[in-house]
Structure 1
Amino acid sequence: MKILVIGASGRVGTDLVKQLLADNHQVIGTTRQEERLFNDDNYSQLDLDITANKDAIQQQIEQDIDAVYFVAGSGGKDVLEVDLHGAVKTMQAADDKGIKRYIMLSTVFSLDTSKWDSLAIENLKEYYICKHYADQWLIHNSSLDYTIVQAGALKERAATGKITINDDNSGENSIEDVATTLAAVLNADNSINTVFSMHNGETNIAEAIAKL
């Protein structure tokens, strides 16, 4: 498949691109960095500014893309422009291009505002508001075949290959396990038009995805 990874230079994006290339997909990674991120014949790079207007974004996206991943993040800077407006513009561009598959990396409890009274979320309130409405747009205002993966806290630690899906705990995730989960839903038809939360747990990733 020909796959566009928006945010290829991020922590999750880097591991995701590695896994997609290992699965012999053709990957176009977006980054604002000048250096080439991956030395692989199946990899190409795009300097895509998601804070630009929607038409400019759309013009840079090739017509024959099979799937789009949105794993970009503002890192706390320009959250409205990146995590909300930037995300929505890429959804609109994909819709206009006739690209159906769109996989969003979101955050745990993004759609459940009743869980937002915890101190951890309170400190990230603007980010959560942006992710909430970006996810709502994807679900209710696009015609895309979406999957929204709501990951708990991202940690720089060894992969476990095991996760728990859709429980009431925010939990933590190895970054590589999040990337593996994102890669696993690509061809999982049962994940289309679904939203699920995840954190490291006891179930093999492939098995967990099969049971969605």
Structure 2
Amino acid sequence: MKILVIGASGRVGKILTKKLLEKNHEVIGTTRQNESLFGNYNYTQISLDLLGEIEDMQEKIPNDIDAIYFVSGSRAKNLLALDLHGAIKTMKIAENKNIKQYIMLSSVFSLETHKWKDEGFDELKDYYIAKHYADEWLVRNTHLNYTILQPSALKETEGTGKIEVNIKHPGENAIEDVATTLLEVLNNKATFKKVISMHSGTTPIKKAIDTLGH
């Protein structure tokens, strides 16, 4: 498959891109860096300004993309302009180009606002508002085969390859496990039109994702 990874140089994006290349996918990464992130013949890189005009962005994205991953983040610097408006522009482009799957990396309970009063959410409220409306736009205002993955807190720990999905309470996730889960949902019809919350657990990732189709 030919895949666009928006945010390929980020904590999740870099690991995800590496895993996609290992599966022999053709990957186009976006990053603000000038140097190529990967010396792989299946990897190319474009500079995509998420703060720019949608017409300019659309011109840079090839027409034969099969799937888009949105794993970019502003780190709280441009929440509305990037995490919200920038994301929605890429959704519109995906529809314009008839892209088969749009995979959004979000955050746990972004669409369940009644849970934001729990401990730990208040300090990230602006971030959650941006993610909430980006996710809601994807669900309510597009016809894309979307998959929204909502991990709990990301940790720089070794992956276990085991998670739980559709969780009731937040937890933690190894970044590698999040990247592996993003890989697992690719072209998986069981995850189309699904919002998937997750944290570390005891179920192998493939098995956890396969249960979504039942």
Please tell me the TM-score bracket, short chain as reference: over 0.9
Aligned-partner residue type, residue 96 of structure 2: D
Alignment of 1:159-198 (within 5 A): 159-198=159-198
Q: How big is each residue's C-alpha offset from its partner over 1:10-49, in whole Å with a ceiling of 9 and x where there is no partner?
A: 0000000010000000000000111110110000001101
Q: TM-score, normalised by structure 2?
A: 0.98
Identity score, percent: 58
Q: Is the 8 A contact 2:101 2:187 kept in 1?
A: no
Count of matched residue pairs: 212
User: What is the CA-CA distance between 1:187 and the residue it aligns to?
Assistant: 2.4
User: What is the CA-CA distance between 1:119 and the residue it aligns to?
Assistant: 3.6
Aligned-partner residue type, residue 184 of structure 2: A
Secondary structure in structure 1 of the residue aligned to 2:120 = helix
Aligned-partner residue type, residue 51 of structure 1: L
User: Does 2:173 correspond to 1:209?
Assistant: no
Aligned-partner residue type, residue 58 of structure 2: Q
Aligned-partner residue type, residue 25 of structure 2: H
Secondary structure in structure 1 of the residue aligned to 2:52 = coil
Name 1:28's counterpart in structure 2: 28
Secondary structure in structure 2 of the residue aligned to 1:123 = helix
Extract unaligned runs of 5+ from structure 2. Answer: none
Moved more, 94-103 or 147-156: 94-103
Secondary structure in structure 2 of the residue aligned to 1:104 = strand
Q: For the residues of structure 1 that align with 2:193 and 2:107, how far apart are their CA atoms?
A: 17
User: What is the CA-CA distance between 1:118 and the residue it aligns to?
Assistant: 2.3
Alignment of 1:2-21 (within 5 A): 2-21=2-21
Extract unaligned runs of 5+ from structure 1. Answer: none
Name 1:93's counterpart in structure 2: 93
Q: Any runs of at least 4 consecutive aligned residues in structure 1 with deviations exceeding 2 A, and if so which? A: none
Q: For the residues of structure 2 that align with 1:190 and 1:165, how far apart are their CA atoms?
A: 13
Tell me how large the CA RMSD over aligned residues is: 0.7
Alignment of 1:118-129 (within 5 A): 118-129=118-129
Q: For the residues of structure 2 that align with 1:38 and 1:118, how far apart are their CA atoms?
A: 40
Secondary structure in structure 1 of the residue aligned to 2:45 = strand
Q: For the residues of structure 2 that align with 1:196 and 1:110, how far apart are their CA atoms?
A: 11
Q: How big is each residue's C-alpha offset from its partner over 1:54-90, in whole Å with a ceiling of 9 and x where there is no partner?
A: 1111111100000000000010111101100000000
Aligned-partner residue type, residue 34 of structure 1: N
Q: Is the 8 A contact 1:100 1:143 kept in 2?
A: no
Q: For the residues of structure 2 that align with 1:193 and 1:187, how far apart are their CA atoms?
A: 12
Aligned-partner residue type, residue 88 of structure 1: I
Secondary structure in structure 2 of the residue aligned to 1:33 = coil
Name 2:141's counterpart in structure 1: 141
